[in-house]
């Protein structure tokens, strides 16, 4: 046991230091990670009479007469704005919009490479909820969708709720829906391995941030009994007498619905006899203790998703009896990574021109993501595909697109196969363009520079 622990600690030190070592050099080399390039042909300067003045006037007049033509004549239908005020950036907290910009650029890169979506980072110099809502609503003529990112709670809940009601384009908060989709997908497959039904399991939710609050809601929608969920924040378990939660409606509702036996206490008490732990809380280790894992039900499942260090080391959780362990890290098995979800979700939403992203569309995305690994190939250390399995994204796109049609949040009529083929083509094109530019050295080879 000692050798395994030493090896893993050594592995953590080496793998975690590599990104930090090169991040500054490479960001400075490329001066960011995204740029705008033409997608129309320019054979000579005469072509600008078509792409710009005077020819573009004919296009403008058509859109003036029929605003929906903007989707036919411009890139609006493939454009997403990534909106952040920099108040909750990764594990760094309130570092401001400028310092949050590299993260939003990274998000835009993932959108483009994994989903073929043109995403634009927009970091705002305001923390005011009303101003953020007003700015986003004002951006609707330009973008086909909105991705809210790294906005502190509790305002992240109300901003999302308001914009979903008041906007005519889909609005999504990746820290809420994105995380919840991937967690749910991972749990669906993990339960297949331990042969437990989702309607019977008891779940301890460690942490009550935006991610776990939304995850709780999706779990209930999928079939978990609210009475079998216990949520824990810094002040203890959620229950009907936690009157301090009344100021946040999303939390108060869960306090009323969950924890049927009114279990009082903290993480230890919440984990007793639980089948599943979903932790999205404070970086560890030892936020979750081995003895608490031993108190769980047989064949327990632990998702310890804090970064950069999970709430409990995976090997410690397994030594204590956990059957399946997932984390938020790529260097351990079973990474819970938002990037498995949002590129495909928005690819599907944009392709069918959905006006919103419903909870049912999110459940459809999670279900399809889980199905991307066949039951014969699901293993304790392989409950989810990885980003290398790029065809998961057109599959999620098609599932989301079809659900949008069923939910009647789009006027477009099509079928699964057509959405899948179109999404596959767009995503493949995006990856080929990047590889070609690397091969031709239009994207510099970093090895030559560092």
User: Which residues are catalytically annotated?
Assistant: 52, 107
Q: Which residue has the tokens 């362990």?
A: 325
Q: Which residue has the tokens 């089948």?
A: 275
Q: Which residue has the tokens 């909750």?
A: 88
- HSE-up of residue 130 (Cα within 13 Å, Cβ side): 0
* SS3 letters across 308-370: CCCCCCHHHHHHCCEEEEEECCCCCCCECCHHHCHHHHHHHHHHHCCCCCCHHHHHHHHHHHH
* SS3 letters across 112-128: HHHHCCEEEEEECCCCC
DSSP string covering 360-392: HHHHHHHHHHHHTS-TTT-BTTBSS--TT-TTH
H-helix segments, 79-154: 96-115, 129-138
Cα first-last separation, the chain: 39
What is the spatial distance between Cα 175 and Cα 143, in angstroms, rounded to a whole number?
20
Return the structure tokens found at 228: 């079998």
> Are residues 60 and 73 in contact, defined by beta-carbon separation less than 8 angstroms?
no
Check residue 260 and report its DSSP letter. T
Nearest Cα residue to 260 out of 232, 290, 227: 227
Return the structure tokens found at 56: 């573009």
């Amino acid at each position: 046991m000692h050798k395994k622990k030493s090896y893993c600690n050594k592995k953590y030190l080496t793998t975690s230091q590599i990104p930090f070592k090169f991040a500054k050099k490479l960001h400075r080399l490329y001066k960011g990670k995204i740029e705008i390039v033409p997608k129309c042909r320019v054979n000579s300067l005469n072509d600008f009479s078509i792409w710009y003045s005077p020819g573009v006037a004919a296009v403008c007049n058509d859109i003036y007469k029929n605003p929906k033509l903007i989707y036919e004549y411009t890139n609006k239908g493939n454009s997403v704005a990534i909106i952040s005020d920099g108040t909750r950036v990764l594990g760094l907290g309130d570092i401001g919009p400028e310092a949050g910009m590299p993260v939003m650029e990274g998000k835009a890169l993932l959108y483009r490479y994994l989903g073929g979506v043109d995403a634009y980072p927009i970091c705002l110099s305001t923390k005011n909820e009303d101003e953020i809502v007003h700015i986003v609503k004002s951006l609707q003529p330009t973008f086909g969708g909105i991705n809210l990112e790294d906005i502190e709670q509790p305002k992240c809940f109300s901003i999302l709720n308001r914009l979903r009601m008041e906007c005519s384009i889909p609005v999504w908060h990746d820290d809420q829906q994105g995380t919840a989709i991937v967690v749910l997908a991972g749990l669906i497959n993990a339960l297949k391995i331990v042969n437990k039904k989702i309607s019977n399991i008891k779940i301890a939710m460690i942490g009550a941030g935006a991610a776990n609050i939304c995850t709780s809601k999706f779990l209930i929608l999928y079939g978990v009994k609210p009475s079998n969920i216990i949520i824990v924040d810094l002040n203890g378990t959620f229950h009907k007498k936690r009157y301090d939660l009344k100021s946040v409606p999303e939390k108060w509702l869960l306090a009323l619905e969950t924890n049927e036996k009114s279990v009082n206490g903290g993480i230890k008490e919440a984990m007793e006899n639980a089948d599943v732990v979903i932790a999205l809380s404070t970086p560890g280790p030892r936020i979750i203790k081995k003895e608490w894992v031993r108190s769980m039900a047989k064949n327990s499942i632990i998702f310890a998703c804090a970064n950069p260090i999970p709430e409990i080391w995976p090997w410690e959780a397994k030594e204590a009896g956990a059957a399946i362990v997932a984390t938020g890290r790529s260097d351990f098995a079973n990474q819970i990574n938002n990037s498995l979800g949002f590129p495909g979700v928005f690819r599907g939403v944009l392709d069918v021109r959905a006006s919103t992203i419903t909870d049912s569309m999110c459940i459809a995305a999670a279900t399809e993501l889980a199905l991307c690994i066949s039951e014969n190939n699901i293993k304790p250390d392989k409950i989810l595909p990885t980003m290398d399995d790029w065809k998961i994204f057109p599959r999620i796109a098609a599932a989301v697109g079809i659900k949008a049609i069923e939910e009647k949040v789009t006027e477009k009529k099509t079928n699964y196969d057509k959405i899948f083929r179109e999404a596959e083509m767009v995503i493949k094109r995006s990856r080929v363009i990047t590889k070609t530019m690397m091969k031709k050295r239009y994207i510099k080879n970093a090895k030559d520079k560092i």
